[in-house]
A = this chain, B = another copy of it.
Amino acid sequence: MAKIIPLKNGTKKDAITAIAARLFKEKGYSATSMRDLAEAIGVEAPSLYNHIGSKKEILQEICNRIAHAFITNLNHIQGSEDPIILKLEKITRFHIKMMIEDYEQVYLSDHEWKHLGEPFLSDFKNLRRNYRSQLALIVREGVKSLEVKDIDSYVVVLTILSAVGGIESWHRSKKTIDANSLTENMVRLLIEGIRR
């Protein structure tokens, strides 16, 4: 009878994914049941399977999309002629932006990837390791060109990625600081922390 009118022009599957991301983030992937998800959407649990293949598939698609967003951005920045320190700043800014705009899905990609099934789990871990290696390589280039302090590249990458990941918690305390100030302050701390 009272059908829910879709507000966005995405598919129903996209809507399910978005709501699932919110629930997975709030309650954790394992603690979120398909019945929780169905209720949040307004259907019975079995109806979900007309749009998705399985619970795991939702997580897979989220992790995949996020991973490729970061990889695409990195490739784009790598192809530029920017000084190393600016590349690092741009990468940092992209992470912050993603964390501000799409934080639920980025959070899942950061913290719930361990629930991925094979072979997606291995693929994801490879992409992740590869991404971090490429970042570390950029840092070492910067150290060599004297743009970056002689700090261990692994530590630089770990610190930057962890710091931006923490922005997840900012969404619960938005009154404290606005998105733009958050971005500029964090970029300043991190980039000045590594700039020689």
Chain A interface residues (CB < 8 Å from chain B): 26-31, 111-112, 114-115, 149, 151-152, 154-156, 158-159, 161-167, 169-170, 173, 176-177, 181-182, 185-186, 188-190, 192-194
State the CA gap A194–B164 with chains docked (Å): 16
- Identity of the chain B residue whose Cβ is nearest the Cβ of A190 in the assembled complex: B193
In the complex, chain B residues whose CB is within 8 Å of the CB of A155: 177, 181-182, 185-186, 189
Q: A192-B193, A193-B192 are in contact. Are A166 and B165 (CB under 8 A)?
A: yes
Q: Which of B27, B169, B188 contacts A158 (CB 8 A)?
A: B169
The smallest C-beta distance from A97 to any residue of chain B, in angstroms, reads 15
For residue A166, which residues in chain B have a CB less than 8 angstroms away from its CB? Answer: 158-159, 161-163, 165
Q: In whole angstroms, what is the CA distance A161 to B166 when docked? A: 8
**Which chain B residues border A31 with CB–CB below 8 Å?**
30, 115
Interface centre among A154, A162, A182, A186 (most CB of B within 10 A): A162
Cα–Cα, bound, A114→B26 (Å): 8
The contact of A29 among B28, B111, B177, by CB within 8 Å, is B28
In the docked arrangement, what's the CA distance between A185 and B30, Å? 36
**13 pairs, CB–CB < 8 Å, chain A vs chain B:** A27-B114, A28-B115, A30-B31, A154-B177, A155-B181, A155-B182, A156-B185, A159-B163, A159-B166, A162-B163, A162-B164, A162-B167, A163-B166
